[in-house]
Chain A
């Protein structure tokens, strides 16, 4: 499956700004920790289809964690 929204989870600091701006509310926070000790944001595979590739999350992200693609 090709993902529309891809997170470089190792760089995520869990600020959740992406979560706040996602119009589809599909960005979740993992329960596990990344290398930096944060709970990284991600979009579950099953919700990738719901992504409208608006890229608001990527434009909000302070750490350039997110890349967005469209079919």
Chain B
């Protein structure tokens, strides 16, 4: 029998985290990511790990801060409103340079919103969310298998850069089922030591995990040192996929679930001889500017499709830098762009029926539905 298992996205990410050496998980229930907590509650004990359901997301992420500071390989997951509650501690974690993995199975917002899938936390994930100059490494898987493969990368990068890494999924990625093949469990004894951790100062000078710098000069230096680290990450950790970059003239730009929809539309249109391609950012921060350089000479235009009112499209515009028209199509609140509406929007763009360079939101009763 094959090694494949049929997994729900949430369960798969949890199992992948365990195989990537995660032994500590702190969480608080919120739909649509509860299967992660439930899976961890069941499985972590079997591998000598610890699961704690905290009293709130605020507390859970602070447990992560403590556990990461003490040297544990630690993960937390939540969905949009819960991630908002965690922003304070995420800022502390980034400031104190602690490694951890944060999963956001994004749902519709703002506020309590709804439990259906969304990508409206892109700004929060990639531009901050908490206070201060800091960056999360943000990865947006489009398949469950990719989510599993990125999990090991996420933990490895978190350790290497001593920085929190976010896996930004959406409810659809969390709830759907696909077959996956899991990597072999990591040998925990081979993980690099963490001499900076608060493990008790027997035989060495004491360690301090902190983000406090009251001297402006010191804080300035600290922030520029962090920025230097982020520069290295920008240089080395850009991840993306280009489909049909060799001949396409029109490009979808989409990540996660929406990239799957755009891919289906792309395939259909290509069968009709229309030269459509796709740029799929996998690292949402650092954003893959270089992907656009590779196709800019031939591209006639880019259609960014998101489950938001237009967030990643701003990064697309920065990358394209006015050289080509950038269009946008979005649905929000759990409404998922349908293949038909995406196709219609692309055709309008190709026919020049969409005002170029301006936001083109799907207005009430809009033709795109």
Q: Do chains A and B touch in the complex (CB under 8 A)?
A: no
Residues of A within 8 A of B (CB): none
